[in-house]
Structure formats: structure tokens, C-alpha cells
Structure 1
Amino acid sequence: MSTQSGPSSPGYWRARFLQRDVAAFRGVAERHWPGADAVLPRLSRSANHGLLWFGAAAGMAALGSSARSRRAALRGVASLAVASATINTVGKQAVRRERPILDMVPVMRQLKRQPFTTSFPSGHAASAAAFATGVALESKGWGAVVAPVAVAVAASRVYTGVHYPSDVVAGAALGVGAAFALRGVVPTRGQLPAPGRPPAEAPALAAGKDLVVVVNRESGSATNAAALIRDALPLAETVECAPADLQGCLEEAAREGRALGVCGGDGTVNMAAAVAATHGVPLAVFPGGTLNHFAYDLGIETVQDTVRALTAGDAVRVDLGRFRPGPQGTDGAPGYFLNAFSLGVYPELVRTREHWAPRIGGWPAGVLAAAEALRGSRPLTAELQGRRRPLWLLFVGNGLFQRVGPAPGRRHNLADGLLDVRVVHGGRTPGLRLLAAAFAGPLSRSPVHAAVRRRRVRLTGLAPGTPYAFDGEVAHSGTELLIDKMPEALTVYCPMPM
């Protein structure tokens, strides 16, 4: 009985495919590529264990001027991790293909240390494609920078003789798929729906005419942002102030201009928002701090985003969180928050972070602050909504924070009239309880934590001097606090979706 070996046989087409694959490999090996001998082997070695891409991510995070750069770097590394895990656990085990024979490859191209794993698919190509795709999904600009390097790394694997072309193509396809699979679990910021905010009337201020911008000269990247503001809005008046003089500068700017501009971090923007709401003028926010949560939830990541909104007169109304009594020294006036109000371990974390950030940088200071805040801490005791209980943390957000990954992220609606209240109950394991609360997300309940929506929160029975934090600032309480909202109290310039 004869074995079928014609064109209809699967074995026939597999043999033809392998022949073409080997022929393509031989064509690359026999062809002279000007300048490639000095570049591609080194590039191939630099990508071992993902070191090239980790270095690229660190460079993007350090050199990038916006949160988009940091998100792109993080997504690139995460996509690479997913691709590498898939390759090592499934890909290499599924098809045990031998490496190409090196006789056809010139010695000067060959790697000094040959890989010992199977050939199909190419892990280097998968990592390169995953990183480049992940970066591009968050930032097209950085994606355009990284893509040629990724293509070169993938090509180097054939050039140095460690992979057949089909290994590289399959690896690249797997890497792209890993990046998109990750996006399905953790959406990019561009995938998230536009925040629901009621539109507001505000004057269109072309070139910044009648706009006064107050810059906190000691806030994050405000100094660099101030130069960009002057270039983009030549008719605007820009005033740089020390933190101690900010309140006076903001009050004067609100009286002089048709709109109030502010450049700084969340604490600076908080102060400007209270002044703008009091004087009834629209607020233009230029991100210039370390985190810029409020600006990012408005869709503002760069100075140009705000300039575009100012030129078009695009603005929205947003809620303003309020707590009473306000901080000491405000003569009984309420305090306000744009992002969040909190008690418990978080105020101590903020205080420690602010102490160390100028010396070691924001993110390392945050890690150190978290460790210090949890070590040796005791839960505070307070009566919350009529019930006395120990608490590790009370978080009150101005609007419902949507879940992006394992922790609260962006707010989709800045004028929903609601407070996002999250409580971590007292116990012996603050770290585990805080972690459980972060992974649970909004609108959840357990013996460890609770997350609910409220329009107001009343706290009584506090120990006088209990620290609390609002938009990154720390103050101390009396024996009770009432937290609520002023619906649609603030008009803010906001770029409309393009």
C-alpha cells in the first residue's frame, strides 16, 4: 500500500515550507550586508534576557516629559513579560526544532555563545515585537522610535545564524499577540471612554490674552512647563511664586484676568481650584507636578492640551470635594479636594514621601514611605456614620474611581455628585488588608474592607490632631469632620476628544 506524497498530502506542504525556509536562511547567510557585521551581532547580544528593552524602558521613563512616556515604558515591559512567559512555558515545548547549521554563516557573524534551547519560535523576536507593540499602544511617538530597533533585533537572529526566518516571524507574531492580549486585560488610556462631564461656557483666549498663569516654582517639572507656556501663550501673564506666596498670587491673578491659570502639582491645583470657584472664574490647569492626577483625569497630559482647550474655549464643570472644618489657620473656612481625602496610614505616607522625594526621587520615596507608614503603625479609632470602629485607612474620592488593573485608576465622571468611600478596617495585618482592598476595586464589601458610594461622610470621636491628607497635602483634625461635595462648582478648561 503506497503512502500518499502528492500536493494533497500535509507532509508534502510541510516539506515544501521547510525547503523554502532553509533557502531563505541560506540567502541571508550568503548575502553581504554592508555595515551589518559590526552592528547586528552586538545588537542581538544586547537583547539577551531582555536587557536592551529594560534599558530602553528606563530611558523612556527618565527622558519622557509626560505620564504617557512612563505608561508606554511600563506597558512595553509588561507585554515583554507576557510574551516571554508564553514562549518559555508553551512555545519552546510545542515545536522542538533544531537550530540551523552554522556552516553556511560566516564566522564573524556568529555569536560567541550559541543558544542551547530549541529554535522555534524566536524568543528574541517575540520580546522585541511585544515591547515595541506595547509601547506603540500607549505612545505612537515612542513606538516609532522603538520599532526600527525591534525589527533590527529580530533580523539579527537570522543574520547571526541562530534562527530560521519562520522562527522569527512566528516569534514576532506571538509578541504582537501578547501585547494585544495584555491590552484586553489592562486597557490603554486611549481605550477608556471619555469622562462624562457637563460642558461649560468659558472665554476663548487665543494666545493667552487676559489669562494670568501662576506657577509654583518648586513643584515637579513646573519650571520647564512655564517656559513652554510662555512660548505657546505669548499674550498670557505668567507669574512664578514660592509656595509660601501662592495663595496671595492666586487671589490677585483671579481678580486681574478673565481666567486663572495654574502650573504645579495636585496640591497647587487644589489651592487654585478653591480660588477660582470663589471668584467665579474658569481654571486652566497646566500639569507641572509629579503625579498630576486631576489634570490627567481631564485628559490633560501636556501644556499643548491645555493650550488647545484655551484657544477653542472648551471647558467643563466639575465637582469640588469639601470637608469641614477646614485646615487650621483658615479661620473656619472649609477645605476642598479635587482628587481625594484620606485618614489613617496614608497621611503619614504622604509626609514621609515629601520628605525624601527631593533627595532620592518621587518613586523611590513612595516605596520607602509605604514601608515606613506600615511599620509599627496602629489603626485610628473613629465613629464613622454612627458606628465606632478601628480603621487603617479611610479614602474618600471626589467621584467614583474606575478600576484599571488591580487598583483604583481614572475617573470617568468628574461631576457625578458622589463620593467614592473606601474603608480598610483595623486588624493585625495592615499590609495584607490594604493590598486586598486595592485588588477588590470599587463597590465591594468584606470583613477586611468596604467600598461604597456616598454623598456625605461624617466622622466623630477623632483624637484631636489626627493627621489627614487632601490632594497630597497634610493637615490635622479636630474631633469631628463632615465630608461632602459642591456639585459642578468649578469650571475647568478641558480639551474635547479629537
Structure 2
Amino acid sequence: MAAVSGTDRAITEFIASRPPSRVDTSLRRLTRTADHSVLWFAIGGVLAVRRGAGRHAAMRGVASIALTSMTANAILKPLLPRRRPAAAELPAYRTVADPPSSSSFPSGHAASAAAFATAVVMEHRRVAPVIVPLAALVGWTRVHVGVHWTSDVLAGAALGTVVAQLTRRWWPVRPSDEARARPLDTVPVLPQGEGLVIVANPFSGPPDQDVSKEVAERLPAAHHLVVGDGRDVMDMLEEAIVERGQWVRAVGVAGGDGTVGTAAAVADRHGLPLVVVPGGTLNHFARDVGVYDTQEAVDATQAGEAVAVDLALVEAHPGRLDDPEDFSVTRTRFFLNTASIGSYPELVQLREEWQPRYGKWPAFAAALVTVLQRSEKISVKIDDRWRKVWFLFVGNGPYHPRGAVPAWRPTLDSGLLDVRYLRADVRFSRLRVVIALILGALGHSRVYHQREVSRLDVELYEPSMLATDGEVVEEAGRYTFRVAERPIPVYRRDEVRWTGRDRPFQA
């Protein structure tokens, strides 16, 4: 400690010996803007204006500041008190008015700066050349104006960096913007949309968003359909394909996940590739595929590039267990993202409603606790064994992260289903879930179960509602989930080639 104190004092004395300059004024102003993390909140607000990496970075940054500030101010400062540099150590033109009087160790400003910078760069690396030097400069200002020793700043920076990295435990970082999928070179080129039947659903997204006009302008040679009141998407596409005959070389859709799923079922039935234009509110499937706007979809059709994407399906057998004859009627529904039984759709809805305000992990935790309070247990038979569960989740492909809310898929053609459920037949199951969430250990809890299968048969003691891709679509007493025999080609530019399993598309 003597060596550290000696180094701290030597650095402070060196700063005191420097002649006055304009830098002194600039550094005093900068350190003041970082008071109460105002500087970082302002930058986070700018980053959060647009959806995507910037907004994710802002939310993680603010969450990291909150955790770091609590650790530094509520735990470490009272536990490890240290005197700040004496006012006489530096000339008056270099110090700030009303310096803080709390413990000098660790530097809260440096901790918050490092936490925010680390968290932001984890989500949005492009801003690193600006954010990282700015955070380092804020840390240095605390030594320059004489309110911290150098070791205080270094310890604070280390604390903030560690806390930001620890957020991965509850809120994993998505490694790439799009999921991996096997490229296909067998899809046709569609110059200006020639050979494409595409349907746009203006009711899918926000009221002020209608991509149908943009799609018509970018793909003038395509056959365009627009959903109207009372018009069924599947019927519209089927009629157009029959009418156009051999001219049709691909099916397209501009809308949300529900509309995309319907179009995908039609494309699969006719052995045609699919063009996806994001036109919904959240566009989970389009984001996983890697199509973020109309132009990206247009570019892929002009290049004739696509990837293989699994199409999952669920067979609903209406009826009750005490009346087996009711299982004779089977209805098949396709889904691209997820299917669920029980209260999971409500959980997702609440999480997405609260996420912009609280961040992803806090919103998920709050939504899960809320849903567990409201929901009722359902009796399901899985693997010939009856269980009581709070809800059952089935993903079209393995989702990440494990042991938390399913957020993204690393691959699109795994041929597997991601099955998760929370058991309700374990003592204090709700309390166990809450504790596991706080510790970031839900995946190790007895209440939580997850596995990956190619097929899942589920029976229910009483018929229960089924939701696919966020929409309640069915009520039945037995369900069979599986992956379709062949993947569906979805147009996407081949920016990153990845060799997956050998399962070619056959038209």
C-alpha cells in the first residue's frame, strides 16, 4: 500500500507542477458533465433513438451504470474509506468548487464511465473509437481536478468493466445480427420482381407504417397483393399462384411474423422460395434471417441468393382425453419462430411492453413474476409422464440464451425444436424461479427444464390454447410439434458463408 500511495502522490504532485492552460477549464467542465452520469445518460439517449445495436447498447449501458453505482457507493465506499487528496495539493485554477466529501475509493465517476463504455462496446463496436477514449478521459479528469488519487480511478475503472461484463450472465450478447444458415444457389434471380407473387399486410405494423407502396416501387415487375378487411392471406396467395401458373417463381410477403408464417406455408406447399420484407412491429423472423429493410430483400432477389430455413409445424388434435374419437380431426399450423401453451404469450407481451423502459433482463424478470402470479397450472403429458407446468415453450430451432428468455437463434436450419417449461409441481416453484433469476442460475434450477428434440407429442388433461409466433391460434387437447421434412429457401444476401449440415432443398 505504501508503494501505491507513493505513486499516487507523485502523480498528483506532477499535475500540480504543470503551468495553467485551457485544458484545465475543459477538463473541469467535462468532469462536471459526468456528475450523476448525466453525460452517459445523454449519450445513451442519442444511441437509443434508433432500434438495433444502438438501442441495445444504450439499455445495457444504463443497466451497467446502475449496478456499478450501487456497488461502488453502497458497498465499497463505506467498506473501504479513504481520504481524498487535500485541497492544498493542487493550485486553485485546477480544482473544482464543492468537491465531494465521501470516500475517495473507488472513483464512482471512473466506475460509471468504464461500465457504460464497456457495455456499449459489447453491443455496438462501431462507437468504440469515441466512447472508450471519452470514458478514459473522464476518469483522468478526477485525478486532474484533485478529487481522486490515481489508484482510485484505476480501481473504479476495473470495477465498472467487471460489472458490465457480468451483465452477460443475465443478458447475453448476441454475437451477430443474423443467424447462420446454409447458403443455397438454386433459387431464381427475380429482376425487378419478375416471377414474384408478393402480399403486403398494412395491418401488421404500427398504424403509421405501410410498406406496400415501397415494395411496389422497388419490385415493379412483381404481382402485388394487398390485404384488405376480411381477406385471407393464404387464399389470396393461392388464387394468385393458380392464376399466374408457371410464371410464378417465388412467393413474397411484407408484414409481421404471423403474415410471414402464412406465406411460408404457401411457399412450402408449392415448393417455392420465400421473399421476406419486414413490415410488422417486431419482425423477429426477418431479423433472424438478416433482412432489415425492403432494400435488403430486393438486393437478394436481384442476386438470386438465399439460405435454408427450417419450417416448424404443429398438428392440433381437438378433443378431450376421455373422448378419443375427438382426436380424429387434425389441423396443421406452421410456425417460423415459436409456439407455446399456457401463459408464455402473456410473458412475451409484457416483456416487450416494459423492455424500452427497464431494459431486457429487468423487463423479463418482472414479466415472469407477474405472469406466475396470474397464471394457472396446466397438466401436460410429455414423454409418457404427466406434469403440472406453468407454461410450455417450443422454439423452431435452439434459442439463446439458455436458462433465460429465448431471445435469438444462432442457426436457422438445425432440424431441432427447443423445448422449455417451468414445472409447477415442485414446492415453492415460483419462489425458486425468482431466486434463480436473481442469481442468473435459472438453467440450473429444478423448476426449469430445457431440451432439444426433432419431435414432441403433448397431451393435456383439459384442452388449452396454443399460440404460434405470438398469436393465439388454436385450442386442443393434444399437439404434435415437429420440423418440416425440408427447409424453405428464404432470400438473403450471402454476406457470410457458413457450411451447415448437408440437407439440400428439393423443389
User: Is the TM value for this pair above 0.5?
Assistant: yes
Alpha-carbon distance change, 384 to 13 in structure 1, aligned in 2, over 3 angstroms = closer
- Give the letter aligned to residue 96 of structure 1: R
Question: Counterpart in 2 of 1:452?
Answer: 451
Q: Of 76, 79, 82, which residue of structure 2 is paired with 1:96?
A: 82
Matched, 1:122 2:122: no
Query: 1:171, CA displacement in angstroms?
Result: 4.0
Residue 32 (1) aligns with residue 22 (2): yes
Matching residue of 2:504? none
Distance 1:19 1:348, change over 3 A: closer
Q: Are 1:132 and 2:123 counterparts?
A: no
Alignment TM-score, normalising by the size of structure 1: 0.75
What residue number does 1:271 align with?
A: 262
Q: What's the counterpart of residue 325 of structure 1? A: 316
Quote the residue 1:3 is aligned against: none
Are residues 25 and 108 of structure 1, via their aligned partners in 2, closer, same or farther at CA, if it must alter by over 3 Å? closer
- The answer to whether residue 72 in structure 2 is matched with residue 74 in structure 1 is no
1:43 is matched with which residue?
A: 33
Q: Is the 8 A contact 1:121 1:170 kept in 2?
A: yes
Q: Is residue 463 of structure 1 aligned with residue 462 of structure 2?
A: yes
Work out which of the residue numbers 44, 48, 51 in structure 2 matches 1:65: 51
Show CA shifts across 1:450-476 (max 9, x none). 333333223345534x21111111023
Can you give the 5+ residue segments of structure 2 that lack an aligned partner in the other structure? 320-328, 497-507
What is the letter of the counterpart of residue 462 of structure 2? A
Q: Distance in 1 between matches of 2:363 and 2:153?
A: 41
Contact 1:321 1:398 in 2 (8 A): yes
Deviation at 1:486, TM superposition (A): 0.6
In the alignment, structure 1 segments of 5+ residues that lack a partner are 1-9
Match of 1:189 among 145, 149, 174: 174
Q: Report the Cα distance in structure 2 between the residues aligned to 1:130 and 1:445, rounded to whole angstroms.
A: 29
Task: Choose from 418, 426, 432 the match for 1:420.
Answer: 418
Match status 1:315 vs 2:306 = yes
Larger mean Cα displacement after TM superposition, 187-196 or 486-495: 187-196
CA shift for structure 1 position 185: 8.4
Which deviates further from its counterpart, 224-233 or 449-458? Answer: 224-233
Asked if the contact 1:322/1:485 (under 8 Å) is kept, the reply is yes
Q: 2:492 matched to 1:494?
A: yes
Deviation, 1:294, is: 2.4
Kindly provide the amino acid, as one letter, of the partner of residue 47 in structure 2. M
1:429 offset after TM fit, Å?
5.4
CA distance in 1, matches of 2:366, 2:228: 27
- Report how far residue 306 of structure 1 moved: 4.1
Partner amino acid, structure 1, of 2:142: R
Q: 1:397 to 1:305 in 2, by over 3 A?
A: same
Describe the SS at the equivalent of 2:30.
helix
CA distance in 1: counterparts of 2:363 and 2:170, whole angstroms: 29
TM superposition shift of 1:116? 1.9
- The CA distance in 1 between the partners of 2:7 and 2:482, in whole Å, is 72
* CA distance 1:90–1:436, change in 2 (3 Å): closer
Does the 8 Å contact 1:321/1:483 carry over to 2? yes
Q: What's the CA shift for 1:107?
A: 6.8
Deviation at 1:405, TM superposition (A): 6.7
Q: Answer yes or no: is the 8 Å Cα contact 1:327–1:475 preserved in 2.
A: no
Offset at residue 250 of structure 1 (A)? 4.4
May I ask how many residue pairs the two structures share in their alignment? 474
Answer yes or no: is the 8 Å Cα contact 1:457–1:483 preserved in 2: yes
* Deviations, residues 73-121 of structure 1 (Å, cap 9, x unaligned): 2332344356446645558967935235267455796244x21234355
Task: Give the root-mean-square deviation of aligned CA atoms.
Answer: 4.7
User: Following the alignment from structure 1 to structure 2, what is the Cα–Cα distance between the partners of residues 117 and 65?
Assistant: 39
Name the CA shift for 1:41/1:82 in 2 (closer, same or farther; >3 Å). Answer: closer
Q: Per-residue deviation at 1:144?
A: 5.6
Instruction: State yes or no: 1:292 paired with 2:283.
Output: yes
| TM superposition shift of 1:481 | 2.4
3-state SS of paired residue (2:477): coil
Report the CA distance shift for 1:21/1:259 in structure 2 as closer, same or farther (over 3 A).
farther
Question: SS of 1:157's equivalent?
Answer: helix
Deviation at 1:341, TM superposition (A): 1.5
Change (3 A) 1:390 1:301: same
Q: Say if 1:152 and 1:307 are closer, same or farther in 2 by CA, change over 3 A.
A: farther
Alignment partners' CA distance in 2, 1:134 and 1:73: 8
1:423 is matched by which residue type in structure 2?
Answer: Y
Q: Deviations for 1:262-291, whole angstroms, at most 9, x for unmatched residues? A: 333322222221122123222233334344
The 8 Å contact of residues 278 and 292 in structure 2, kept in 1 or not, is answered as: yes
Matches within 5 A, 1:140-159: 140-143=125-128, 146=131, 150=135, 153-154=138-139, 156-158=141-143
Q: Alignment identity in percent? A: 36
Moved more, 384-393 or 237-246: 237-246
Local SS of the residue matching 2:114: helix
* 409-418 vs 152-161, which moves further: 152-161
Distance 1:376 1:422 in 2: 20
Q: Could you say what secondary structure the match of 1:487 adopts? A: coil
Does the residue aligned with 2:411 lie in a helix, a strand or coil? Answer: coil
The separation in 2 between residues aligned to 1:76 and 1:308, in whole angstroms, is 34
Note if contact 1:401-1:412 (Cα within 8 Å) is conserved in structure 2.
Answer: yes
Give the match for residue 281 of structure 1. Answer: 272
Contact 2:202 2:209 in 1 (8 A): no
Contact 1:350 1:474 in 2 (8 A): no
